[in-house]
Chains A and B, each alone.
Chain A
Protein backbone atom coordinates (compact mmCIF):
# COMPACT_ATOMS: atom_id res chain seq x y z
CA UNK A 1 0.00 0.00 0.00
CA UNK A 2 2.79 2.34 0.98
CA UNK A 3 4.59 1.44 -2.18
CA UNK A 4 1.50 2.21 -4.21
CA UNK A 5 1.05 5.47 -2.38
CA UNK A 6 4.57 6.44 -3.40
CA UNK A 7 3.80 5.62 -6.99
CA UNK A 8 0.70 7.71 -6.83
CA UNK A 9 2.64 10.64 -5.47
CA UNK A 10 5.26 10.24 -8.17
CA UNK A 11 2.57 10.05 -10.81
CA UNK A 12 0.99 13.21 -9.44
CA UNK A 13 4.37 14.91 -9.53
CA UNK A 14 4.98 13.71 -13.06
CA UNK A 15 1.68 15.09 -14.25
CA UNK A 16 2.24 18.37 -12.49
CA UNK A 17 5.71 18.69 -13.99
CA UNK A 18 4.50 17.67 -17.40
CA UNK A 19 1.65 19.99 -18.01
CA UNK A 20 1.26 22.34 -15.10
CA UNK A 21 3.33 24.55 -12.90
CA UNK A 22 6.00 22.53 -11.18
CA UNK A 23 5.56 24.05 -7.75
CA UNK A 24 2.25 22.20 -7.43
CA UNK A 25 4.21 18.96 -7.15
CA UNK A 26 5.34 19.81 -3.62
CA UNK A 27 1.82 19.43 -2.36
CA UNK A 28 1.29 16.02 -3.94
CA UNK A 29 0.20 13.49 -1.34
CA UNK A 30 -0.88 9.88 -1.39
CA UNK A 31 -4.38 8.68 -0.85
CA UNK A 32 -5.92 5.23 -1.12
CA UNK A 33 -9.30 6.71 -1.92
CA UNK A 34 -8.64 7.36 -5.57
CA UNK A 35 -7.45 3.81 -6.23
CA UNK A 36 -10.86 2.20 -5.81
CA UNK A 37 -12.60 4.95 -7.72
CA UNK A 38 -10.74 4.19 -10.89
CA UNK A 39 -12.60 0.92 -11.18
CA UNK A 40 -15.98 2.60 -11.04
CA UNK A 41 -16.99 2.89 -14.61
CA UNK A 42 -19.74 3.79 -16.95
CA UNK A 43 -20.31 2.47 -20.45
CA UNK A 44 -22.62 3.84 -23.10
CA UNK A 45 -23.51 1.80 -26.17
CA UNK A 46 -25.95 2.54 -28.97
CA UNK A 47 -27.99 -0.45 -30.10
CA UNK A 48 -30.42 1.23 -32.52
CA UNK A 49 -30.89 4.52 -34.36
CA UNK A 50 -33.94 6.75 -34.48
CA UNK A 51 -35.47 5.75 -37.78
CA UNK A 52 -38.46 7.36 -39.45
CA UNK A 53 -38.07 4.97 -42.41
CA UNK A 54 -39.46 6.22 -45.74
CA UNK A 55 -42.14 8.88 -46.04
CA UNK A 56 -44.08 10.01 -49.11
CA UNK A 57 -45.23 13.56 -48.50
CA UNK A 58 -48.69 14.92 -49.29
CA UNK A 59 -50.17 18.19 -50.49
CA UNK A 60 -50.36 19.60 -46.96
CA UNK A 61 -47.83 19.78 -44.17
CA UNK A 62 -47.99 17.00 -41.62
CA UNK A 63 -45.97 15.14 -39.01
CA UNK A 64 -44.63 11.67 -38.38
CA UNK A 65 -44.05 10.60 -34.79
CA UNK A 66 -41.92 7.79 -33.48
CA UNK A 67 -42.55 7.11 -29.80
CA UNK A 68 -39.75 6.21 -27.40
CA UNK A 69 -41.12 2.66 -27.71
CA UNK A 70 -40.57 2.84 -31.49
CA UNK A 71 -44.23 2.99 -32.55
CA UNK A 72 -45.01 5.16 -35.56
CA UNK A 73 -47.89 7.60 -35.90
CA UNK A 74 -48.17 8.63 -39.52
CA UNK A 75 -49.87 12.02 -39.99
CA UNK A 76 -52.78 12.73 -42.32
CA UNK A 77 -51.91 12.89 -46.05
CA UNK A 78 -48.64 11.01 -45.55
CA UNK A 79 -47.65 7.49 -46.53
CA UNK A 80 -45.13 5.85 -44.21
CA UNK A 81 -43.35 2.65 -45.19
CA UNK A 82 -40.55 0.62 -43.68
CA UNK A 83 -39.70 -0.20 -40.08
CA UNK A 84 -39.38 2.62 -37.60
CA UNK A 85 -37.28 2.37 -34.46
CA UNK A 86 -36.48 4.63 -31.52
CA UNK A 87 -32.82 5.17 -30.76
CA UNK A 88 -31.76 2.92 -27.90
CA UNK A 89 -28.75 3.34 -25.62
CA UNK A 90 -27.55 0.83 -23.05
CA UNK A 91 -25.78 2.14 -19.98
CA UNK A 92 -23.77 -0.01 -17.58
CA UNK A 93 -22.13 0.97 -14.34
CA UNK A 94 -22.31 0.66 -10.58
CA UNK A 95 -25.43 -1.16 -9.40
CA UNK A 96 -27.89 1.43 -8.10
CA UNK A 97 -26.12 4.41 -9.67
CA UNK A 98 -28.36 7.21 -10.93
CA UNK A 99 -27.36 8.50 -14.37
CA UNK A 100 -28.86 11.65 -15.85
CA UNK A 101 -29.61 11.27 -19.55
CA UNK A 102 -30.61 13.80 -22.16
CA UNK A 103 -29.59 15.75 -25.20
CA UNK A 104 -30.75 18.07 -27.94
CA UNK A 105 -34.47 18.74 -28.03
CA UNK A 106 -34.59 19.21 -31.79
CA UNK A 107 -32.55 18.50 -34.89
CA UNK A 108 -32.46 19.96 -38.41
CA UNK A 109 -32.16 17.57 -41.33
CA UNK A 110 -30.69 18.53 -44.68
CA UNK A 111 -31.87 16.90 -47.87
CA UNK A 112 -29.54 15.43 -50.46
CA UNK A 113 -31.51 17.27 -53.17
CA UNK A 114 -31.96 20.46 -51.13
CA UNK A 115 -34.60 21.35 -48.60
CA UNK A 116 -34.63 20.93 -44.83
CA UNK A 117 -36.87 19.34 -42.26
CA UNK A 118 -36.87 19.49 -38.52
CA UNK A 119 -37.60 16.96 -35.86
CA UNK A 120 -38.29 17.36 -32.18
CA UNK A 121 -36.68 14.76 -29.93
CA UNK A 122 -38.13 13.13 -26.83
CA UNK A 123 -36.30 11.08 -24.20
CA UNK A 124 -37.81 8.16 -22.34
CA UNK A 125 -36.70 9.52 -18.95
CA UNK A 126 -34.54 12.32 -17.50
CA UNK A 127 -32.62 9.82 -15.38
CA UNK A 128 -32.17 6.10 -15.00
CA UNK A 129 -31.19 4.03 -11.97
CA UNK A 130 -28.85 1.24 -13.03
CA UNK A 131 -29.55 -2.32 -11.96
CA UNK A 132 -26.94 -5.07 -11.79
CA UNK A 133 -27.37 -5.50 -15.54
CA UNK A 134 -27.34 -1.77 -16.27
CA UNK A 135 -30.14 0.25 -17.80
CA UNK A 136 -31.27 1.81 -21.04
CA UNK A 137 -33.00 4.84 -22.43
CA UNK A 138 -34.67 5.62 -25.72
CA UNK A 139 -35.02 8.64 -27.97
CA UNK A 140 -38.09 9.18 -30.12
CA UNK A 141 -39.24 12.22 -32.04
CA UNK A 142 -41.74 14.02 -34.21
CA UNK A 143 -40.71 14.94 -37.73
CA UNK A 144 -42.35 17.90 -39.45
CA UNK A 145 -42.87 17.18 -43.14
CA UNK A 146 -43.66 20.13 -45.38
CA UNK A 147 -46.33 20.19 -48.06
CA UNK A 148 -44.84 18.44 -51.09
CA UNK A 149 -41.54 18.12 -49.24
CA UNK A 150 -38.68 17.79 -51.72
CA UNK A 151 -37.79 14.13 -51.96
CA UNK A 152 -34.30 12.89 -51.18
CA UNK A 153 -32.21 11.49 -48.40
CA UNK A 154 -32.35 13.71 -45.33
CA UNK A 155 -29.68 13.47 -42.70
CA UNK A 156 -28.86 15.20 -39.45
CA UNK A 157 -27.00 14.67 -36.19
CA UNK A 158 -28.04 15.27 -32.61
CA UNK A 159 -26.20 15.13 -29.27
CA UNK A 160 -27.01 12.66 -26.52
CA UNK A 161 -25.14 12.36 -23.22
CA UNK A 162 -25.22 10.18 -20.14
CA UNK A 163 -24.12 12.27 -17.17
CA UNK A 164 -22.81 11.28 -13.79
CA UNK A 165 -23.48 13.78 -11.01
Chain B
Protein backbone atom coordinates (compact mmCIF):
# COMPACT_ATOMS: atom_id res chain seq x y z
CA UNK B 1 0.00 0.00 0.00
CA UNK B 2 2.67 2.42 1.03
CA UNK B 3 4.76 1.65 -1.98
CA UNK B 4 1.75 2.27 -4.16
CA UNK B 5 1.22 5.68 -2.57
CA UNK B 6 4.89 6.42 -3.01
CA UNK B 7 4.69 5.58 -6.69
CA UNK B 8 1.53 7.63 -7.04
CA UNK B 9 3.15 10.64 -5.39
CA UNK B 10 6.10 10.40 -7.69
CA UNK B 11 3.83 10.03 -10.68
CA UNK B 12 1.82 13.08 -9.69
CA UNK B 13 4.96 15.11 -9.30
CA UNK B 14 6.11 14.04 -12.73
CA UNK B 15 2.76 14.81 -14.29
CA UNK B 16 2.79 18.29 -12.75
CA UNK B 17 6.32 18.89 -13.89
CA UNK B 18 5.41 17.90 -17.41
CA UNK B 19 2.33 20.09 -17.42
CA UNK B 20 4.24 23.17 -16.27
CA UNK B 21 6.76 23.16 -19.10
CA UNK B 22 5.40 21.70 -22.31
CA UNK B 23 8.59 21.97 -24.37
CA UNK B 24 10.64 19.11 -23.01
CA UNK B 25 13.73 17.91 -24.77
CA UNK B 26 15.07 14.39 -25.08
CA UNK B 27 17.22 13.70 -22.05
CA UNK B 28 15.26 15.64 -19.45
CA UNK B 29 15.25 13.80 -16.17
CA UNK B 30 13.96 13.48 -12.64
CA UNK B 31 15.95 12.07 -9.73
CA UNK B 32 14.61 11.26 -6.26
CA UNK B 33 15.75 11.45 -3.50
CA UNK B 34 18.24 14.31 -3.70
CA UNK B 35 20.65 13.01 -1.07
CA UNK B 36 21.58 9.54 0.12
CA UNK B 37 23.12 8.67 3.49
CA UNK B 38 24.16 5.09 4.15
CA UNK B 39 25.13 3.87 7.59
CA UNK B 40 27.68 1.49 6.21
CA UNK B 41 25.57 -1.62 5.71
CA UNK B 42 22.05 -0.85 4.58
CA UNK B 43 21.21 -0.25 0.92
CA UNK B 44 18.71 2.10 -0.61
CA UNK B 45 17.24 2.98 -3.95
CA UNK B 46 17.15 6.07 -6.12
CA UNK B 47 14.52 6.66 -8.76
CA UNK B 48 15.42 8.03 -12.18
CA UNK B 49 12.60 9.06 -14.50
CA UNK B 50 12.60 10.16 -18.11
CA UNK B 51 10.47 13.31 -18.11
CA UNK B 52 11.30 14.17 -21.73
CA UNK B 53 9.04 13.57 -24.68
CA UNK B 54 11.38 11.10 -26.42
CA UNK B 55 13.03 7.85 -25.34
CA UNK B 56 16.44 8.59 -23.86
CA UNK B 57 19.50 6.73 -22.65
CA UNK B 58 20.96 7.69 -19.30
CA UNK B 59 24.33 6.84 -17.85
CA UNK B 60 24.79 6.58 -14.10
CA UNK B 61 28.24 7.03 -12.60
CA UNK B 62 30.09 8.13 -9.47
CA UNK B 63 32.28 11.21 -9.34
CA UNK B 64 34.39 12.86 -6.71
CA UNK B 65 33.62 16.50 -6.04
CA UNK B 66 35.30 18.68 -3.46
CA UNK B 67 33.71 21.65 -1.81
CA UNK B 68 35.48 24.98 -2.21
CA UNK B 69 35.73 27.80 0.32
CA UNK B 70 33.34 29.69 -1.95
CA UNK B 71 30.72 26.96 -1.51
CA UNK B 72 31.02 25.46 -4.98
CA UNK B 73 31.75 21.85 -5.88
CA UNK B 74 34.87 21.15 -7.94
CA UNK B 75 34.92 18.02 -10.01
CA UNK B 76 38.08 15.98 -9.37
CA UNK B 77 39.53 13.77 -12.10
CA UNK B 78 39.85 10.13 -11.09
CA UNK B 79 43.66 10.18 -11.23
CA UNK B 80 43.78 13.00 -8.67
CA UNK B 81 41.63 11.52 -5.93
CA UNK B 82 42.90 10.93 -2.40
CA UNK B 83 42.96 7.39 -0.92
CA UNK B 84 39.81 8.17 1.10
CA UNK B 85 38.01 9.38 -2.01
CA UNK B 86 39.18 6.27 -3.85
CA UNK B 87 37.76 4.18 -1.01
CA UNK B 88 34.41 5.98 -1.39
CA UNK B 89 34.29 5.18 -5.11
CA UNK B 90 35.11 1.53 -4.37
CA UNK B 91 32.69 0.96 -1.50
CA UNK B 92 29.55 2.35 -3.17
CA UNK B 93 27.94 -0.26 -5.39
CA UNK B 94 25.04 0.55 -7.70
CA UNK B 95 23.10 -0.92 -10.56
CA UNK B 96 22.21 -0.40 -13.37
CA UNK B 97 24.84 1.90 -14.87
CA UNK B 98 23.12 2.59 -18.14
CA UNK B 99 19.44 2.48 -18.99
CA UNK B 100 17.20 3.45 -21.90
CA UNK B 101 13.79 4.70 -20.85
CA UNK B 102 10.67 5.62 -22.80
CA UNK B 103 9.00 8.89 -21.75
CA UNK B 104 7.60 8.86 -18.20
CA UNK B 105 9.21 5.54 -17.40
CA UNK B 106 10.88 5.41 -13.98
CA UNK B 107 13.84 3.20 -13.20
CA UNK B 108 15.00 2.18 -9.76
CA UNK B 109 18.75 2.36 -9.22
CA UNK B 110 19.85 0.20 -6.32
CA UNK B 111 22.62 1.61 -4.18
CA UNK B 112 24.52 -0.31 -1.56
CA UNK B 113 27.74 -0.31 0.41
CA UNK B 114 30.55 -2.84 0.43
CA UNK B 115 32.74 -1.99 3.39
CA UNK B 116 36.16 -3.63 3.31
CA UNK B 117 37.42 -5.09 6.63
CA UNK B 118 39.06 -2.47 8.76
CA UNK B 119 37.75 0.59 6.97
CA UNK B 120 38.77 3.49 9.22
CA UNK B 121 35.90 5.48 10.78
CA UNK B 122 34.93 8.56 8.84
CA UNK B 123 32.60 9.98 6.28
CA UNK B 124 33.07 8.75 2.73
CA UNK B 125 31.34 10.54 -0.11
CA UNK B 126 30.92 10.37 -3.84
CA UNK B 127 28.43 12.14 -6.08
CA UNK B 128 26.13 10.04 -8.21
CA UNK B 129 25.76 11.52 -11.68
CA UNK B 130 22.67 10.81 -13.79
CA UNK B 131 23.31 12.06 -17.28
CA UNK B 132 21.56 11.74 -20.58
CA UNK B 133 23.72 10.26 -23.31
CA UNK B 134 23.28 12.40 -26.42
CA UNK B 135 22.21 10.97 -29.72
CA UNK B 136 25.08 10.49 -32.13
CA UNK B 137 26.57 13.74 -33.42
CA UNK B 138 23.88 15.90 -34.99
CA UNK B 139 23.79 14.95 -38.65
CA UNK B 140 24.34 17.96 -40.84
CA UNK B 141 22.05 17.02 -43.69
CA UNK B 142 23.85 18.97 -46.35
CA UNK B 143 27.27 20.40 -45.56
CA UNK B 144 27.54 24.04 -46.49
CA UNK B 145 29.45 24.76 -49.68
CA UNK B 146 32.60 26.80 -49.11
CA UNK B 147 32.13 30.53 -48.66
CA UNK B 148 28.68 30.41 -47.10
CA UNK B 149 29.72 31.06 -43.55
CA UNK B 150 29.71 28.80 -40.54
CA UNK B 151 26.79 27.45 -38.57
CA UNK B 152 27.18 26.22 -35.06
CA UNK B 153 25.48 23.36 -33.19
CA UNK B 154 26.38 23.12 -29.52
CA UNK B 155 24.77 20.23 -27.68
CA UNK B 156 24.74 20.32 -23.90
CA UNK B 157 25.06 16.94 -22.17
CA UNK B 158 23.21 17.62 -18.98
CA UNK B 159 22.57 15.79 -15.80
CA UNK B 160 21.93 15.81 -12.08
CA UNK B 161 24.27 14.86 -9.26
CA UNK B 162 23.27 13.87 -5.74
CA UNK B 163 25.67 13.10 -2.89
CA UNK B 164 25.97 9.53 -1.65
CA UNK B 165 27.42 9.62 1.85
CA UNK B 166 28.66 6.59 3.78
CA UNK B 167 29.25 7.03 7.50
CA UNK B 168 31.50 4.58 9.30
CA UNK B 169 31.79 4.72 13.06
CA UNK B 170 30.49 7.25 15.55
CA UNK B 171 30.86 10.68 13.95
CA UNK B 172 29.88 14.16 15.03
CA UNK B 173 30.05 17.69 13.74
CA UNK B 174 28.99 21.19 14.60
CA UNK B 175 28.64 24.44 12.70
CA UNK B 176 28.95 28.12 13.53
CA UNK B 177 27.43 31.02 11.66
CA UNK B 178 29.89 33.83 10.98
CA UNK B 179 29.53 37.33 9.57
CA UNK B 180 26.67 38.17 7.18
CA UNK B 181 26.62 40.80 4.46
CA UNK B 182 24.91 41.83 1.25
CA UNK B 183 27.02 42.24 -1.88
CA UNK B 184 26.68 42.96 -5.56
CA UNK B 185 27.90 40.14 -7.76
CA UNK B 186 28.06 40.04 -11.53
CA UNK B 187 24.86 38.01 -11.39
CA UNK B 188 23.04 40.53 -9.21
CA UNK B 189 22.71 41.18 -5.47
CA UNK B 190 23.53 38.35 -3.08
CA UNK B 191 23.09 37.60 0.61
CA UNK B 192 26.27 36.09 2.05
CA UNK B 193 27.42 34.63 5.30
CA UNK B 194 30.26 32.46 6.54
CA UNK B 195 29.59 29.00 7.88
CA UNK B 196 32.32 27.21 9.85
CA UNK B 197 32.35 23.50 10.61
CA UNK B 198 34.10 21.35 13.18
CA UNK B 199 34.11 17.62 13.78
CA UNK B 200 34.64 14.58 11.59
CA UNK B 201 31.63 14.63 9.29
CA UNK B 202 29.64 17.02 7.13
CA UNK B 203 26.85 19.24 8.38
CA UNK B 204 23.67 19.72 6.39
CA UNK B 205 20.53 21.71 6.92
CA UNK B 206 18.28 24.65 6.19
CA UNK B 207 18.88 28.35 6.64
CA UNK B 208 16.21 30.73 7.82
CA UNK B 209 16.78 34.47 8.07
CA UNK B 210 14.26 36.38 10.17
CA UNK B 211 13.93 39.97 11.37
CA UNK B 212 13.16 40.35 15.07
CA UNK B 213 9.45 41.19 15.43
CA UNK B 214 8.54 40.05 11.91
CA UNK B 215 6.85 36.63 11.83
CA UNK B 216 7.52 35.72 8.18
CA UNK B 217 11.12 34.76 7.44
CA UNK B 218 12.90 37.09 5.04
CA UNK B 219 14.78 34.26 3.39
CA UNK B 220 14.66 30.45 3.46
CA UNK B 221 17.36 28.36 1.81
CA UNK B 222 17.22 24.59 2.16
CA UNK B 223 19.89 21.97 1.67
CA UNK B 224 23.07 23.82 2.61
CA UNK B 225 26.02 21.54 3.40
CA UNK B 226 29.54 22.02 4.68
CA UNK B 227 31.58 19.00 3.66
CA UNK B 228 34.49 17.64 5.73
CA UNK B 229 37.16 18.74 3.23
CA UNK B 230 36.52 22.35 4.22
CA UNK B 231 36.45 23.80 7.72
CA UNK B 232 34.46 26.81 6.55
CA UNK B 233 32.61 27.96 3.48
CA UNK B 234 30.89 31.05 2.24
CA UNK B 235 27.19 30.74 1.53
CA UNK B 236 26.26 33.17 -1.22
CA UNK B 237 22.61 33.29 -2.25
CA UNK B 238 21.37 35.45 -5.09
CA UNK B 239 18.37 37.52 -4.01
CA UNK B 240 16.16 40.08 -5.75
CA UNK B 241 17.20 43.72 -5.27
CA UNK B 242 14.32 44.64 -2.97
CA UNK B 243 15.04 41.65 -0.71
CA UNK B 244 18.74 42.57 -0.59
CA UNK B 245 17.79 46.03 0.69
CA UNK B 246 15.37 44.52 3.23
CA UNK B 247 17.99 42.08 4.56
CA UNK B 248 20.32 44.87 5.69
CA UNK B 249 20.16 45.54 9.41
CA UNK B 250 19.55 43.28 12.43
CA UNK B 251 18.53 39.69 11.62
CA UNK B 252 18.52 36.25 13.20
CA UNK B 253 20.07 33.49 11.16
CA UNK B 254 19.14 29.93 12.07
CA UNK B 255 20.84 26.87 10.65
CA UNK B 256 18.74 23.81 11.42
CA UNK B 257 18.93 20.13 10.63
CA UNK B 258 16.80 18.68 7.88
CA UNK B 259 13.09 18.69 8.77
CA UNK B 260 13.05 14.96 8.12
CA UNK B 261 15.36 14.30 11.05
CA UNK B 262 13.59 16.69 13.40
CA UNK B 263 14.81 20.12 12.31
CA UNK B 264 16.86 20.72 15.46
CA UNK B 265 18.95 23.90 15.61
CA UNK B 266 22.60 23.49 14.65
CA UNK B 267 23.44 27.14 15.25
CA UNK B 268 21.54 30.36 15.64
CA UNK B 269 23.01 33.84 15.65
CA UNK B 270 21.96 37.47 15.76
CA UNK B 271 23.80 39.45 13.11
CA UNK B 272 23.71 42.94 11.69
CA UNK B 273 23.83 42.59 7.92
CA UNK B 274 26.06 45.12 6.24
When the two chains form their complex, are residues B42 and A98 in contact, meaning their CB atoms are under 8 A apart? Answer: no
CB distance from A56 to the nearest CB of B (A): 4
When the two chains form their complex, are residues B29 and A164 in contact, meaning their CB atoms are under 8 A apart? Answer: no
A157-B157, A165-B204 are known contacts. Are A42 and B34 too (CB-CB below 8 A)? yes
Query: Chain B residues with Cβ under 8 A from A28's Cβ?
Result: 41-42
Mark out the residues of chain B between 118 and 149 whose CB falls within 8 Å of any chain A CB in the assembled complex: 127, 129, 131, 134, 137-138, 140, 143-149
A124-B187, A157-B156 are known contacts. Are A46 and B27 too (CB-CB below 8 A)? yes
Query: Chain B residues with Cβ under 8 A from A92's Cβ?
Result: 17, 20
When the two chains form their complex, are residues A49 and B43 in contact, meaning their CB atoms are under 8 A apart? Answer: no
When the two chains form their complex, are residues B95 and A164 in contact, meaning their CB atoms are under 8 A apart? Answer: no
When the two chains form their complex, are residues B152 and A51 in contact, meaning their CB atoms are under 8 A apart? Answer: yes
A46-B27, A129-B238, A151-B150 are known contacts. Are A163 and B6 too (CB-CB below 8 A)? no
Query: Chain B residues with Cβ under 8 A from A149's Cβ?
Result: 150
B159 lies within 8 A of chain A by Cβ: yes
Query: Chain B residues with Cβ under 8 A from A128's Cβ?
Result: 238
Please give the number of chain B residues whose Cβ is less than 8 angstroms from any Cβ of chain A in the complex: 86
Task: Indicate with 1 or 0, residue by residue over A116-139, a CB within 8 angstroms of chain B CB atoms.
Answer: 010100001111110001100001
Interface residues of A (CB under 8 A from B): 4, 7, 11-12, 15-16, 18-21, 24-25, 27-29, 33-47, 49-57, 79, 81, 87, 89-90, 92-100, 102-103, 107, 109, 111-113, 117, 119, 124-129, 133-134, 139, 141, 143, 145, 149-165
List 29 contacting pairs A-B, 8 Å CB cutoff, sorted by A. A7-B2, A7-B3, A15-B44, A19-B93, A24-B114, A35-B6, A38-B6, A39-B9, A40-B32, A41-B34, A44-B160, A50-B154, A51-B152, A51-B154, A87-B154, A94-B223, A97-B34, A97-B222, A98-B224, A109-B152, A112-B140, A126-B187, A129-B221, A149-B150, A150-B150, A151-B144, A151-B145, A151-B150, A165-B225
Additional pairs, 18, CB under 8 Å, beyond known A102-B72, A164-B162: A11-B45, A15-B44, A24-B112, A39-B6, A39-B32, A43-B31, A44-B29, A46-B27, A92-B17, A100-B73, A113-B144, A139-B156, A141-B154, A154-B152, A160-B159, A162-B158, A162-B160, A165-B225
